[in-house]
């Protein structure tokens, strides 16, 4: 039976990229009636420095974002990673299965250390994909909905499962399938069409935050970088126009339609017409989420209770899998 696992780092406020690439998909999977486990990966977040009080708030805000976007904490399991100790425990075992060379080849590692002294990056940042493999395999998850940027990490998760099964001559960990779907699997920065939209980009104008108000959303789209050409007749005409393509993809994903349909509807129109239409659509879709987040954030104790309840249910699935893993590896389990 399929089991979905996915996570988001509470390393900042959720962005439109997180929403279209991940969160919106998470809700769809839940609503298809598949078993869904969603995690706020706070252990991943601290691979780069996080102020403790902000991390706590960002974790609650991300939980509020999930619920406001349609995750029902009764139907899905929603929790923060550090409350289930098995994630860190299994990650250690995977640190001993995975190879340094595998980690060094990850483009996220290369991107996040580009232009910096990699010697000064945390060991956790280097080993990040090993913890991510543990997140997924701790639940024997079969499918992982993610944005395009996580594809390589999921391939590494498969490599770890295969090597573990091979080294210990077992057929224990499943080989997980990435699920990369939708019109906006890679939302780009509004300031630079070659960079993905990211919650840690120093420029707030580069992203739409789920908590942005209507005026801010409209202003950010108005100022979004574009070329001066009108929209083409077909998507083929968006080739070599990354900024234009990005805005079309965002529109399509928000409207639950295809990029083809969007260019057909706006063919020949300039961005002076397209951007306000996009802003109106974004506000219509995102404002109710922002309002609901605000309401939920007024009761942090209730959010903590939901996360605690989710962690308990997650742990009930994880514990037997972790115990079996320790058995396979040869650890004495006498209590
Ligand atoms: N720009 C994006 N387009 C589509 N999907 C995206 N995701 C992130 N950015 C985009 C998807 O969101 C999920 C959670 O990602 P994450 O928070 O765990 O880490 P990330 O991919 O590193 O996201 P950020 O926003 O860029 O965070 P920082 O800046 O802290 O590194 C994943 O499924 C991801 O694909």
3-state SS class at 200: coil
Enumerate residue ranges in the chain where pLDDT < 70.
Answer: none
Gap between the Cα atoms of 26 and 37, Å rounded: 9
* Side-by-side strand order, sheet with 143-145: 77-80, 35-40, 3-8, 143-145, 177-179
* pLDDT score at 182: 86
pLDDT digits 0-9 by tens, 250-291: 999 999 999 999 999 999 999 999 999 999 999 999 999 999
* pLDDT score at 11: 94
Can you list the domains of the chain with their CATH numbers? 3-179+299-329 (3.40.50.620), 204-295 (1.10.240.10)
CB atoms within 10 A of CB 37: 23
Partnered with residue 7 across adjacent β-strands are 39
Mutation to probe ligand 1, out of 10, 17, 250 (largest number of atoms < 8 A from CB):
17
* pLDDT score at 1: 87
* pLDDT score at 183: 85
The predicted complex's ipTM stands at: 0.95
- Residues making up the binding site: 9-11, 17-18, 135, 147-149, 187, 196-200
- In angstroms, the Cα distances linking 74 to 36, 38, 64, 84 are 11, 12, 14, 18
- In angstroms, the Cα distances linking 73 to 28, 132, 313 are 14, 22, 11
pLDDT digits 0-9 by tens, 189-231: 999 999 999 998 999 999 999 999 999 999 999 999 999 999 9
State in Å: Cα 199 to ligand 1 middle.
8
* pLDDT score at 302: 98
- Contact 65 CB / ligand 1 (< 6 Å): no
Nearest to 38 by CA among 147, 144, 182: 144
Percent of the chain with pLDDT over 70: 100
* pLDDT score at 207: 98
* pLDDT score at 211: 95
State in Å: Cα 125 to ligand 1 middle.
15
* pLDDT score at 221: 97
């Amino acid at each position: 039976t399929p089991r979905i696992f996915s996570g988001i780092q509470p390393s900042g406020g959720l962005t439109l990229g997180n929403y279209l690439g991940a969160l919106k998909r998470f809700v769809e999977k839940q609503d298809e009636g598949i078993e869904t486990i969603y995690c706020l990966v706070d252990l991943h977040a601290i691979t780069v420095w996080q102020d403790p009080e902000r991390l706590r708030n960002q974790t609650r805000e991300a939980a509020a974002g999930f619920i406001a976007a349609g995750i029902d904490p009764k139907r899905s399991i929603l929790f923060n990673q550090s409350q289930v100790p098995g994630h860190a425990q299994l990650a250690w075992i995977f640190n001993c299965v995975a190879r340094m060379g595998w980690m060094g080849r990850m483009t996220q590692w290369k991107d996040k250390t580009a232009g910096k002294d990699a010697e000064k990056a945390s060991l956790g940042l280097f080993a990040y994909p090993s913890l991510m493999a543990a997140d997924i395999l701790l639940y024997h998850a079969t499918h992982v909905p993610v944005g395009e940027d996580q594809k390589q990490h999921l391939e590494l998760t498969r490599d770890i499962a295969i090597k573990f099964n091979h080294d210990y001559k077992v057929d224990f960990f499943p080989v997980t399938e990435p699920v990369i779907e939708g019109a906006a699997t890679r939302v780009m920065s509004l300031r630079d069409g070659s960079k993905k939209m990211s919650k840690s980009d120093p420029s707030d104008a580069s992203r739409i935050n789920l908590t942005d108000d209507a005026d801010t959303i409209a202003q950010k789209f108005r100022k979004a970088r574009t070329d001066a050409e009108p929209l083409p007749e077909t998507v083929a005409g968006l080739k070599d126009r990354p900024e234009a393509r990005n805005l079309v993809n965002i529109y399509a994903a928000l409207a639950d339609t295809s990029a083809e349909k969007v260019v057909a509807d706006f063919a020949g129109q300039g961005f002076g017409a397209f951007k306000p239409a996009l802003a109106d659509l974004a506000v219509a879709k995102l404002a109710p989420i922002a309002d609901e987040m605000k309401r939920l954030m007024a009761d942090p104790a209730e959010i903590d209770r939901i996360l605690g309840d989710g962690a308990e249910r997650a742990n009930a699935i994880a514990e037997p899998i972790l115990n079996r893993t320790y058995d396979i590896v040869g650890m004495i389990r006498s209590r």
